[in-house]
Amino acid sequence: MSLPGFIARRRSIRAFRADRIDRQLLDDLVEAACLAPAPHHSRPWRFVVVDTDDAKRALAAGMGAKWRADLAGDRVDPARINELVDASHVKLTSAPALVVGCLTWDGLDRYPDEARQRAEWGMALLSLGAAVENFMLAAADAGLASCWVAAPIFCPEEARDALALPDEWLPHALVLVGYPDPAYVARERPAVPLDELRATR
């Protein structure tokens, strides 16, 4: 299959068979992630493979507590808060593996001013996105399903502490991984409206 065809075949799959994923295979996927381009030849990412029940529960609880507080601050109805946070807990704890992508300042430049410091962090974040896409494409190539979950970017410290990670590892991305539930049907993907999304000069 051509590479563009393969890229088009990767879909976000949110339902998995219960089978565990071999740790070596997960390591191979993380290695593919770490071949992503990054600023200054750095590797400002750290990946955490979370495939034990205790760690999944701790992560889901840590992030869930922060989300619950945020939703309460938004004055969301308490019953709705329970529904949302409970569904998220089930989603995270029922996936065979979670792979958490963290950012660090390792290898990044430091600037005295806030604007360039923010741009530097932004570059690292872009490269984490490239690494996560590598991970998901490599997962698809291995017959695995995956889905990116945004949650840690809203609560990096809580996610870090829930997993007892070093202070400087800040979770910013999470990927659910597993063998696909054959009954799951991916949402219809609209055609790319190229004329709206691309300009030429």
Ligand X SMILES: Cc1cc2nc3c(=O)[nH]c(=O)nc-3n(C[C@H](O)[C@H](O)[C@H](O)COP(=O)(O)O)c2cc1C
Nearest residue (CB) to ligand X, 40 versus 143: 143
- Residue 75, sorted as left (phi over 0), alpha (psi -120 to 50) or beta, turns out to be left
CA 185 to CA 79: how far, in whole Å?
29
Of 56, 87, 62, nearest to 155 by C-alpha is: 62
Distance CA 102, CA 46 (A): 5
Please name which of 98, 76, 107 lies closest in space to residue 162, comparing C-alpha atoms.
98
Q: Which range touches ligand X (CB under 6 A), out of 45-53, 71-79, 146-154, 177-185? A: 146-154
Pick from 177, 167, 136, 176: nearest CA to 46: 167
| Residue with token string 């054959």 | 182
Of residues 160-189, those binding ligand X (CB under 6 A): 186, 189
Q: How many residues bind ligand X (CB under 6 A)?
A: 9
149 interacts with ligand X by CB under 6 A: yes
Q: Is 150 in the site for ligand X (CB under 6 A)?
A: yes
For ligand X, give the closer residue by CB, 122 or 166.
122
Q: Which of 103, 147, 163, 175 binds ligand X (CB under 6 A)?
A: 147
- Least distance in Å: CB of 12 to ligand X? 4
Distance CA 125, CA 132 (A): 11
8 sits near ligand X (criterion: CB under 6 A):
no
Residue 5 as a binder of ligand X (CB under 6 A): the answer is no
Choose the binding region for ligand X from 20-28, 63-71, 113-121, 141-149 (rule: CB under 6 A).
141-149
Identify which of residues 14 and 66 has a Cβ nearer to ligand X in the complex: 14
> Which is nearer to ligand X, 96 or 113 (by Cβ)?
96
197 near ligand X, rule: CB under 6 A: no
Q: What secondary structure does DSSP assign to 99-159, as a single string?
A: EEEEE--TT----SSHHHHHHHHHHHHHHHHHHHHHHHHHHHHTT-EEEEE-GGGG-HHHH
Is residue 11 part of the contact set for ligand X (CB under 6 A)?
yes
Binding site for ligand X (CB under 6 A): 11-12, 14, 147-150, 186, 189
